């Protein structure tokens, strides 16, 4: 069953909130940082917001919260302009959002993250808040760019499995989300030679001379449509299954 009203809290009046029934929320978390000369600074926010809005329109009782447009982007700050929070600040912001929802009786939250630097803060916030408030249920899509690659058939992407900051996958999904903001004539990137099993904690300028990893020249709107639809379908299916279980974990007997 599809939602019949605009579920975005920023556009909702108090009257509509009272008339509706909302028992869960989705929070898009993004960033504002350089994505090469071909993508907008708000790419991470725009993608997570687009996914969140689509999911909320297909899931009964889901309120779409305003997008958090700032993340932990210090490792990208070699390229202007990165508007960044510290991991500690972002963790606190997320916990206080959870507390706000909990106070109003909304105890189920899906976070859709659009930026790699946010993952530690989201993990810490969810673990710490739930330890003190186990009644609050939190689910997270940490890295849509990895999930999309896993959901689509092998061979969908031409370079680096579609991965990269401003690379093939991210550029493709932006061609679905906001094609008017993408300038493919400016697309260029670099595929770094990274260790396979051990992570080196790089500064972005050390692995991406143009501020982009991956190969955005391989991006197409067709790939973006496939990625976006697969992610939305996966999230809708996940939330509907969680609703049936009461957001409880089915432990083995």
Report pLDDT for 3.
46
SS3 128: helix
pLDDT at 167: 98
Tokens 């992407």 sit at which residue?
157
**Does a structural domain hold residue 210?**
no
In this predicted structure, what is the pLDDT of residue 24? 98
Q: How far apart (Å, rounded) are the C-alpha atoms in residues 107 and 155?
A: 40
Question: What does the pLDDT read at residue 7?
Answer: 93
CATH number at residue 145: 3.40.50.10310
Alpha helix segments (H runs only) across the chain? 14-19, 43-58, 87-103, 119-132, 144-151, 168-177, 204-207, 221-244
Q: Is residue 59 part of a domain?
A: yes
pLDDT 10s per residue in the chain (253 long)?
444 568 999 999 999 999 999 999 999 999 999 999 999 999 999 999 999 999 999 999 999 999 999 999 999 999 999 999 999 999 999 999 999 999 999 999 999 999 999 999 999 999 999 999 999 999 999 999 999 999 999 999 999 999 999 999 999 999 999 999 999 999 999 999 999 999 999 999 999 999 999 999 999 999 999 999 999 999 999 999 999 999 998 766 6
pTM of the model: 0.96
Determine the pLDDT at residue 2: 47
Q: Does a structural domain hold residue 32?
A: yes
Q: Is residue 141 part of a domain?
A: yes
Parent domain of 43 = 9-158+228-244
To which residue do tokens 């992570």 refer? 199
Q: Does residue 221 fall inside a structural domain?
A: no
Total domains in the fold of the chain = 1
């Amino acid at each position: 069953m599809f939602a019949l009203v605009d579920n975005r809290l920023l556009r909702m009046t108090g009257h509509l909130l009272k008339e509706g029934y909302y028992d869960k929320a989705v929070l898009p978390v993004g960033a504002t940082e350089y994505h090469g000369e071909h993508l907008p600074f708000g790419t991470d926010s725009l993608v997570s917001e687009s996914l969140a809005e689509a999911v909320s329109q297909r899931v009964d009782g889901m309120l779409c919260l305003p997008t958090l447009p700032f993340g932990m982007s210090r490792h990208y700050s070699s390229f202007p302009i990165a508007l960044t929070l510290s991991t500690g600040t972002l963790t606190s912001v997320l916990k206080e959002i959870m507390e706000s929802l909990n106070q109003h009786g909304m105890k189920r939250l899906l976070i859709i993250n659009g930026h790699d630097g946010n993952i530690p803060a989201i993990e810490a916030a969810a673990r710490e808040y739930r330890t003190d408030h186990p009644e609050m249920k939190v689910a997270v899509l940490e890295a849509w760019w990895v999930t999309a690659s896993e959901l689509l058939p092998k061979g969908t992407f031409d370079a680096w499995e579609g991965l990269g900051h401003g690379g093939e996958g991210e550029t493709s999904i932006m061609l679905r989300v906001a094609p008017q903001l993408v300038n493919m004539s400016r697309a260029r990137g670099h595929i770094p030679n990274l260790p396979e099993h051990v992570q080196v904690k790089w500064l972005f300028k050390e692995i991406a001379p143009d501020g982009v990893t991956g190969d955005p020249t391989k991006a197409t709107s067709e790939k973006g449509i496939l990625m976006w639809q697969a992610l939305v379908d996966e999230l809708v299916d996940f939330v509907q299954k969680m609703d049936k279980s009461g957001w409880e974990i089915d432990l083995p007997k």
